[in-house]
Structure 1
């Protein structure tokens, strides 16, 4: 079967296949009260709080080719991401808006920008691994470091004080708003399309939380502050990403 879906249109070279995509991995997230949130959220979305999540993920994804393919091709299915996320709402539907993302995977970079509208950029990430025998537990420290090209982006960490979620309000991991911005070179217009994508079959396991640290380095992040670092957590997570709903579409000449 020819699985070619995205350029290059070749069954052995296409970067990714058609959705649904299946993800699994582990995450470090630090939650902080920040300034400048409203300035990072485009209309018609509205921020619902000034709490921003800073996450580093180590993930595996089948890229639309099935889980057997993911297991047999770790060089393509495994990657890392770092995300800055803001809780937003539109017409009563709450979701996450991610104004900044970094990844070290070419398929994630391509599908994020070409198909769904996540503003992926290349970066390099490091995340403390669980102990190979005993895993993670109370008293452990998990750190994440994010960089782009030769510069730092942000660093974060959490000392695990307890099992379970931190006592900080968080929107559920059920959906994301994204904006695809594609210049049309023939008509000389910029097409901006706002989507909502529901995350299906979400599973979260092995949650630990505790005191957290956060340092923002990249120029685009400095306006966020943060005012106060609230807490951090680590967990394993799995979900399925499929089709999206279009929320808005505009064209502007350039």
Structure 2
């Protein structure tokens, strides 16, 4: 009798017998984030061009950030000391407050990272990630004036895509506050995997399922941000009507996956 070979049980590509080569390990995924960002109000009429139905715009409230992120799959803690580069990356994004079924949510029309693992994992969850070069100010406990957040400290960050600067921000810290500026509500994203020829076309609205949220110190102050569009980035659509402030904070959470809320008709 001919022997039947079992299917390889990888969570993601690459499909090898050992599963060690897969680009994204299975959830849960743990994130620890250091972030600077600017809370803004965009022109609601312009934002409409970036909000696919069935989502609705609220008042144009948004948040633009640059972040340093440590991440590990819940069953791969050894990666923190055996493959350090796989556990850290930079991210930049634009978040918008949206409404769906009369409830408030957070939606990301733009997001960039600098590594392939968070890029592919983001696509699996519905985040519209692209590759970019991203950097932000760093603290060091022995660096006078930049040993940690305090009133008057200035921080900056930027993102470059294909050599073009698409985001630049600067914040000046003033005081500790009790509330972080994001998320506005649970995160909704569109999972889109087109059928290239035959096969199943995936277009669905999903809610990110997360737990174990923790927030460290939140600092608020003044903020400045510039968004630059390009031939492959429609950031010029986002006209800023008002800047409410700049922020620095740390937070962490565990992401379990995505709950599908609706199938999107073609």
- Answer with 90-99 or 231-240: which moved more: 90-99
Deviations 1:88-114 (A, max 9, x none): 12123322110000000101111111x
Asked if the contact 1:212–1:229 (Cα under 8 Å) also holds between the matched residues in 2, the reply is yes
Residue of structure 1 equivalent to 2:228 = 217
Shift of the 236–71 alpha-carbon distance from structure 1 to 2, 3 Å rule, reads: farther
Alignment of 1:1-254 (within 5 A): 4-10=10-16, 11-35=19-43, 36-113=46-123, 115-133=124-142, 134-164=147-177, 170=181, 172=183, 175-187=186-198, 190-219=201-230, 220-250=234-264, 252=266
Name the stretch that deviates more: 65-74 or 146-155: 65-74
Work out the CA distance in 1 between the residues paired with 2:205 and 2:89.
Answer: 26
User: How far is 1:251 from its partner?
Assistant: 5.1
Gaps (5+ residues) in structure 1? none
Q: Comparing both structures, which one devotes a greater share of its residues to strand?
A: 1
Whole-angstrom CA distance in 2 between matches of 1:92 and 1:17: 35
Aligned residues: 248
Does the 8 Å CA contact 2:216/2:251 hold for their aligned counterparts?
yes
Note closer, same or farther for the CA distance 1:200–1:162 as it changes in structure 2 (3 Å cut): same
Query: Is the CA contact (8 Å cut-off) linking 2:208 and 2:259 kept in structure 1?
Result: yes
Give deviations 1:40-61, integer Å, cap 9, x for gaps.
1111111222111101110011
CA distance in 2, matches of 1:201, 1:64: 13
TM-score when normalising by structure 2: 0.86
Query: 2:183 and 2:115 mapped to 1: Cα distance?
Result: 26
Q: Which has the larger radius of gyration?
A: 2
Instruction: State the Cα distance separating 1:185 from its structure 2 match.
Output: 2.1
Q: 1:54 to 1:43 in 2, by over 3 A?
A: same
1:62 partner SS: strand
Tell me the SS of whatever aligns to 2:27.
coil
Summarize the Cα distance change of 1:99–1:187 in structure 2 as closer, same or farther, 3 Å threshold: same
Q: TM-score w.r.t. structure 1 length?
A: 0.90
**Which stretches of structure 1, 4 residues or longer, exceed 4 Å deviation after superposition?**
169-174
* CA–CA distance in structure 1, aligned partners of residues 188 and 26 of structure 2: 20
After superposition, the CA RMSD in angstroms is 2.1
Give distance in 1, aligned partners of 2:260 and 2:131: 26
User: Does structure 1 retain, via aligned residues, the 8 Å contact 2:14–2:23?
Assistant: yes
